[in-house]
Amino acid sequence: MKRYTNIATVLVLAVIAALPVLAQNSRIYREGDGWVEEITGTLPQSRNLKVNTDLGSVKVQGGSDGDVRYTIRKRSYGSSEEAARRMFQNFGVTAVKRGDFAIFEGSWEGGRARKFSADFVLTVPRDMQLVKLSSDGGWINVRGIGGKLEAETGGGSVDLDDIGGMATAETGGGSIQVGNTNGELKLTTGGGNIKVVSATGRVVASSGGGSIWVGKASAVAVDTGGGSVNVGTCQGEAHVETGGGTIDLGNINGPVSLETGGGTIKLAGAAGPVRVSTGGGNLELYKLMQGARAQTGAGSITAEFVGTPSNTQAYSMLETSAGDVTVYVSPEAKMTIKAVIQTAMGHEIKSDFSEVKVTSEGGDWGPKTKYAEGNLNGGGPLLKVRTTMGNIYIRKAKR
């Protein structure tokens, strides 16, 4: 008798651990040139969601007050309804609640899925703590989730918006687009583009070769194998690397580190120190507050210093192998300037500041080396300017 009691207890616990759907319906109908098996149902209210499918797209919409509602569609483009039904049987779908998880699984059995697709459409409570989605190749779309999100697809696109917690998204090669989020973002694609409209947290993004665009973030750390990078505004630090694309940043309220293999770099303003490097593009750096170290292999440099760095040890250096350097300095800035043209083949150093004195070395017939030194407003943090072949202009910035 005791043995049978134990067996009954185990069975009851198993049923509690994996609750079935509250209601589920299935129908098959013709749509266009294919057939659809549509499965609809409801799972009890859950705090977490997990979807894992061998194929198909996944769409999750937050906002329901209680249960998890779902619609799963299998699509077959077979020659007959009978052939379509056989295809539907190859893709098994389960929907179950285990503990605090609502779990959906799609499993393909047999050979390669030809002329077949599927999609999961789920409506869930907004206050879910965790949403974890995985598809071997379909797109993923998530809206209105208050908690943490983890999304992964083998190659489809990822589209996210209105995410309250930390969000991670990874795709083998598709694009990633994010609207508004409140937590940290970690985004990775094998080669697609990445776009983020607004993130109150830090944005960490990586693409094998696509472009990256971030409208607003608290901090940015992004890299791409060769695409361009554009960042609007950033409340903290910005770190950007690209194999060869252009870099265009707005106002950054923190340190800046930018590197490209050969593209142009533009920076509208930075409150912290700036480190910039390009293999051959032009550099345009404005509203620098804490100094800058910028280098280009062959392009021109334009830099604007709007104040005296609070850290007197933070010197600046602007260097190019072949190009002009134009420096704008606010009239009230305290700065010590040292400039040099190594091979002045008709090139000049010109300054709007009387404190900056220009000298030269070399014969009348060969190349000369030209220098300029001066202490503005009594001197301050050092600014070094250097070009191998190019002109140097030191101008007064407009107030």
Mean per-residue pLDDT of the chain: 91
Are 326 and 309 in contact, with CB atoms under 8 Å apart?
no
Q: Which of 184, 181, 186 is nearest to 170 (CA)?
A: 186
Using CA atoms, how far apart are residues 208 and 229, in angstroms rounded to an integer?
13
pLDDT band at 291, cuts 50/70/90? confident
Rounded CA-CA distance 72/260 in Å is 45
Burial 346-377 (b: 16+ CB within 10 A, else e): ebebebebeebebeeeeeeeeebebbbebebe
pLDDT at 3: 41
More confident residue, 137 or 71: 71
pTM above 0.95?
Answer: no
Contacts of 49 (CB under 8 A, 6+ apart): 60, 68, 101, 102, 103, 104, 122, 124, 128, 130, 131, 132, 133
pLDDT at 10 over 60: no
pLDDT in tens, 224-254: 999 999 999 999 999 999 999 999 999 999 9
Q: What is the average pLDDT across 281-293?
A: 94
Structure confidence by residue, pLDDT tens digits, 84-96? 999 999 999 999 9
